[in-house]
Amino acid sequence: MQPFAIAPSILSADFARLGEEVDKVLAAGADIVHFDVMDNHYVPNLTIGPMVCSALRKYGITAPIDAHLMVKPVDRIIGDFIEAGATYITFHPEASLHIDRSLQLIRDGGAKAGLVFNPATPLDVLKYVMDKVDMILLMSVNPGFGGQKFIPGTLDKLREARALIDASGRDIRLEIDGGVNVKNIREIAAAGADTFVAGSAIFNAPDYAEVINAMRAELAR
Ligand code: DX5
Ligand code: ZN
């Protein structure tokens, strides 16, 4: 299992002051910057792309950037995210006709590759590409918006994913995304997650460090 990591989703940050927001949340103790890319096609919302990722790197952000691509088709944007300095690039299997090729494109570019599973998408394809993933991301809400409620059925799916990772013997991060907060993070960790995306729980609070510290305290309990 990878060490626990807190990955604030900048979807809920103030986009008009994005650089400062990212600085602030990293200073508050965040480990990874979760970067939600939405295309108003694969998901019903439109957000930020590789230019903003590259701007954050130029601004001086050195922390890992976890680009969660909710984009279809995904292949033609992968190279742009590699050039923009993304550390992890994850995509939804439904958004790629050739999942193995998309994973390989990411890896060939030197980034870490991951697959994202919507709440009702089975984990089946993993069995064929386990050797090519560095991260498995389970959605605990339907993708498209921050501030939704955690879907409890995801806990069983986390246990299923954790068993697959353990059986593979590889160091694969198991990330959870959607509706994560101080109250439920402990139960989510117990089900096998090691990387926790949280958008509204952190950015809607007045003190980011207070929330992140409270999350870590729950994880240590
Ligand atoms: C949803 C995004 C999430 C979202 C999480 O499609 O992938 O990363 O920002 O936001 P919260 O933590 O508010 O559910
Ligand atoms: Zn996300």
pLDDT of residue 112: 98
pLDDT of residue 29: 98
pLDDT of residue 1: 79
Q: Round to whole Å and give the CA distance between 125 and 160.
A: 13
Over the chain (221 residues), the average pLDDT of each successive run of 10 is 94 98 98 98 98 98 98 98 99 98 98 98 97 98 98 98 98 98 98 98 98 98 90
Which amino acid does the sequence have at 173? R
Ligand number nearest to the C-alpha of 118: 1
Q: What spacing in Å lies between the alpha carbon of 76 and ligand 1's midpoint?
A: 24
Q: Round to whole Å and give the CA distance between 36 and 40.
A: 12
pTM, full prediction:
0.98
Q: Round to whole Å and give the CA distance between 89 and 155.
A: 24
Domain annotation for the chain: domains and CATH numbers? 5-220 (3.20.20.70)
Catalytic site includes residue 177: yes
